[in-house]
Copies of this chain bind each other. A is one copy, B any other.
Amino acid sequence: MRVGFIGLGNMGLPIARNLLKAGHELTVYNRTRSKAEALASAGAKVADSPTEASTAEVVMTMLADDQAVEQTTLGDGGILNTLASGGVHLSLSTISTALSRRLTAAHAARGQSFIASPVFGRPDAAAAARLVVVAAGPGEAVERVRPLLEGIGRKLFVIGTEPYQANTFKLAGNFLISSMLETLSEAFTLIQKSGVEPAKFLEVLNGSFFQSPIYENYGKIIIAQKFSPPGFALHLGLKDVRLVLAAGDEAAVPMPVASVIRDHFVSAVARGWGGMDWAALAKVVAEDAGL
């Protein structure tokens, strides 16, 4: 398939590489051009602008935040004005449900389709094509891009026809992970101040009952206090919890635990820890307990 691909960061680059391997014709664009050129030897055509990458029948975007997606899509020379009628914009980014709705309407008004298909997984999973992909959008358009979506992950779930549903899904998932960070931190702090090793607590509880790799991995990071370099930066975690609260607000759903997490991430940023791994949330909880 002829595909434009915009955004070659930690996640976008390995995803694009897998699409090339699978035989798709990619025109790639990245703000920092050098990253795009890394794909030239793998067969990609390197574009000089988002416009140039938007002449394909499908344009995929994997960008950092709302602002980048909005600018690339709705800005001057953006996807919206370049993509042919009948074309598909496939957005892999974690963005707000509000922007997702706006993009859905804007593309529809021009006879184009918008699909949100955020992905779960880290860069190593992206490289191994082991992402979990959650897509929502018009059924016919989703079927058309199915080969692309199946090519980048180990599993594809089509969970609705409204793109914002996939964004909500992703945000709710990230919320659960951050809530595991928060509650594990509260439990660890209590355990530690009671003179017991958190490592023992983790071993007993997760070993016997919870059995979740999330508790396992983050529990170890917190115990080792190994927050740099970040696997996922705390300020991005704050961005995501803001977005889930906004999604809750739109849908009229109070999310008190998300509010607690937001406050702790904000406090972490205030203390200068925004660049650490988001598990550094544990430091806020510990300091609040005088540790």
> Are the C-beta atoms of B249 and A266 separated by less than 8 Å?
yes
CB-defined contacts of A255 to chain B, threshold 8 Å: 186, 190, 263
Q: Does A233 count as interface, using CB distance less than 8 angstroms?
A: no
> Are the C-beta atoms of B204 and A187 separated by less than 8 Å?
no
Give the distance in Å from the alpha carbon of A159 to the alpha carbon of B194 in the complex.
11
A140 CB, nearest partner CB in chain B, Å: 19
Majority SS at the chain A contact face: helix
> Are the C-beta atoms of A196 and B160 separated by less than 8 Å?
yes
CB-defined contacts of A254 to chain B, threshold 8 Å: 262-264, 266-267, 270, 285, 288-289
CB-defined contacts of A179 to chain B, threshold 8 Å: 179, 183, 257
Which residues of chain A from 233 to 291 have any CB-CB distance to chain B below 8 Å in the complex? 242, 244, 247-249, 251-260, 262-264, 266-267, 269-272, 284-285, 287-290
> Are the C-beta atoms of B257 and A259 separated by less than 8 Å?
no
Segment from A12-20, A85-93, A168-176 that makes contact with B? A168-176
Segment from A44-52, A57-65, A143-151, A210-218 that makes contact with B? A210-218
Q: Does A129 count as interface, using CB distance less than 8 angstroms?
A: no
Q: Does A1 count as interface, using CB distance less than 8 angstroms?
A: no
Residues of A that sit less than 8 Å from B by CB: 97, 120, 132, 134, 155, 157, 159-160, 162, 164-165, 168-169, 172-173, 175-177, 179-180, 182-184, 186-187, 189-191, 193-197, 200-201, 203-205, 208-215, 242, 244, 247-249, 251-260, 262-264, 266-267, 269-272, 284-285, 287-290
